[in-house]
Amino acid sequence: MSENPNVARYERIAALYDLLDLPFERSRYRALRPLMFQDLGGHLLDAGVGTGRNCAFYPPGATVSAIDSSPAMLARAHRRCPTLSAAGRLYRMDVTKLDFAAGSFDAAVATFLFCVLPNQLQVPALRELGRVVKRGGLIRLLEYVRPTGTVRRIVSRLWQPWIHWAYGASFDRQTERYVPAAGLELVDSRYVIDDLVKLLTLRSPN
């Protein structure tokens, strides 16, 4: 199994992850998570489940499978997502090499996963999500981007060394730019927090 080079970071920070993220979870992320699953149903893939913060927002009646490459993060997801844990649908897996058959899912989501993936893994990860989603299925991504406003741009540059050390993340991944190369269609791209966080909706080819 190929390894995301950031796995070691998440193994190190997993015990503190929820605590470090708590202010942002309360002020930003909690309100955004329902948007990830709007109009989605059936069999869903949650790629980069982390500590399982999305679990409380899964659509009623949906069957969700979730993956993460960090065992320490998955251990916390097992506690937060008892339904998935009991059903054996939490997997240690790399998003660039998914052990699912083509067309296994009706849709997929990834929350702050692609702003962590290095540039060279963006297209392989997008292609894999497109492969495991049914033809014409949706893929929804929530990602940080580099702000265009002067103040927020300066603040993001001050934050960059910390978020890279802790999460391996960057504001400059430009995931949207890689969508055509991955053979996917960009359906919608919109800011959901100022000019800092974007919600992308992609479609796998018919």
pLDDT digits (tens, 9 = 90+) for 23-69: 889 989 999 999 999 999 999 999 999 999 999 999 999 999 999 99
Domain positions in the chain are: 7-203
Closest CA to 29 of 142, 138, 113: 142
Using CA atoms, how far apart are residues 155 and 167, in angstroms rounded to an integer? 17
- Residue 107, SS3 per DSSP: strand
Span 122-162, pLDDT tens digits: 999 999 999 999 999 999 999 988 888 777 787 777 777 76
Q: Provide CATH code, domain 7-203.
A: 3.40.50.150
